[in-house]
Structure 1
Amino acid sequence: MLDLKKGQWRMFSGAGERIWLAIALYGVTTGLAEELAVPAGLDVAAARRAVDSYVTHLIDTGLLAPPGQEPHTPRWTVRRRHR
């Protein structure tokens, strides 16, 4: 991902990558802690805290907007003229 504010590329790996992809694809991390914890035999509550902590880190570093403060994305319409 390119951090436009700092002009730096950011790479995510491991659980960080899974968290970022869940947010990018679905807009939420609901159920992600369970997906990460159960197969690995980890405590789900601890995984949930870790996911929440990572999301907070993304918000604090400006890589993610807080819920309800997402930037407006314009919807572009392509108009084609056919003859």
Structure 2
Amino acid sequence: MATQQSRDFPLEVPRAFPKKIQHPETVYFTEPPAKLLERLYPLHTKRSYKKVVNGRELFGKLDPGIACQKCPKLQQLLDKMLELAKS
């Protein structure tokens, strides 16, 4: 079953995501997300990934709740930011 986030990409791109993407906190250390997309877009869509254009479009569709479920460190960061903003 496709998630909303995977439906935001051209169909071929999420199919090519590595299995490690299920654990977002480990992805950055070997291949940052933008680099992964820069590699996958031309291979599977015959067009390039434009970080400013495509990244902005995709970022606007993100669901912070899902991101926090997959990435507990993000939730900790957001909680800390909210705590600091309130104090």
TM-score under structure 1 length normalisation: 0.39
Q: Which structure would you say has the larger Rg?
A: 1
Higher RCO structure, 1 or 2 (CA under 8 Å, sep 6+): 2
More helix by share: 2
More strand by share: 1
